[in-house]
Amino acid sequence: MASSVPGRRLVACLLNVSEARRKDLVEMVAMAAVYKSKGELREGATVLNIFNDLDYNRSVITIVAGIDSVREAVLSACEAACGLIDMRAHRGAHPRMGAVDLIPIYPLDEALGLDDCAAEAQAIARGLTERVPGSSAFLFGWADCPLQRGLAQRRRDMGWFSKTPHMHAVTADVGPPPQRRYGLTGVGAGPYVMNCNVTIDTADLALGRRVAAALRESAPGGVPGVQVLALPHGGAVEIACNVESVRGGPPAGHGPGAEREAWPTFSIGGERYCHAPASLITARVGALAGQQGVGLKGTALVGFTPTQCRGLAERALSLGLGEFWKEQRGGGGGGLRM
């Protein structure tokens, strides 16, 4: 996945913030990533996409920049978010712990290694707690040295999956004990993680949880790289999937012929990675739900695949488009619906 723009050394940050119903506020956070305090465009950074989910009251802002400039873009966005979002008043169907809930850093350039992104993620975690006094962070993935615990494990350990996490029982890795105003932010690094959400035509959350349990990577016959929740959404149930990239080629039984398209592949630091395509996840959810007599309502890819993300970032940066997400608005409101 080598960049065609020399010297960029691109990384992506899929910034998760706990607000979606006030879209003007979310856009202010995105603008802070690409504009300096005096309104000057921040060179070498772009926001490709903003995905708002009103039921979840959560937005994902796709920021891309060179690894030498991503820190300032992300921290400026985080400062804006922490000034605008008060977790004491937040309500939403999606689990959350922080005003800025998640800061993952992913390499988009083959020349970059995961250690490079881990070091940058650690610097961002420190910078957040310095620039927003009272904020705190935990580390995951390659940034969680030396254990490299995954995001799902770290969230389980801290009670993130409960409806109301007990902040007083959580220990931050960086910064003071979590405070209710800002909550706790996860900061990490790793191979690109997509978000693919499939809605099934039922309001039965217990049924949705059975589908999710059979789909996730840890289940017999589950899809490699998939971490999944079943959540109420728009009067139905959404099977919300984090699709992690896995090292090597598609595992046995999941390669070409096992779904409608081959697993997309890319490289990080000379190593090959791949990820399950949205078509496979949709088909698998459809089959599992169909066994219960339930059909599908649709699929949303939140943002882009790694290859799409890199290609659009190169285009945006070559044209000097910091607000690239506005170019995307004609195509479906911040996410690809299928």
Domain ranges of the chain: 10-189, 193-302
Domain 10-189 is found in CATH 3.30.70.260: no
DSSP H or E stretch at residue 226: strand 226-233
Q: Collapsing DSSP states into helix, strand and coil, what is residue 199?
A: strand
Q: What is the CATH number of domain 193-302?
A: 3.30.70.670
pLDDT at 333: 41
The confidence band for 163, taking pLDDT boundaries of 50, 70 and 90, is: low
Among the residues of 132-277, which ranges form H helices?
151-158, 205-215
How far apart CA 135 and CA 131 sit, in angstroms, is: 9
CA distance 63 to 16: 11
| Across 152-176, average pLDDT | 84
The predicted structure's pLDDT at residue 162: 73
Average pLDDT (252-275) is 77
- Tell me how long the chain is: 338
Mean residue pLDDT of the chain comes to 90
Sheet holding 137-141, edge to edge: 45-53, 58-66, 10-17, 100-107, 185-189, 137-141
**Does pLDDT of 4 surpass 50?**
no
Mean pLDDT value across residues 166-180: 88
Whole-angstrom distance, CA of residue 71 vs CA of residue 9: 13
What is the per-residue pLDDT across 224-256, written as a single tens digit (0 to 9) for each? 999 999 999 999 999 999 999 999 978 766 654
* pLDDT tens digits along 25-65: 999 999 999 999 888 999 999 999 999 999 999 999 999 99
* CB contact burial 27-55 (16+ within 10 A = b; e otherwise): bebbbbbbbeeeeeebebbbbbbbbbbeb
**Is this model's pTM higher than 0.85 or not?**
yes
- What's the CA gap between 206 and 174, in Å, rounded? 37
The pLDDT tens digits for 63-117 are 999 999 999 999 999 999 999 999 999 998 888 999 999 999 999 999 899 999 9
Distance CA 113, CA 137 (A): 23
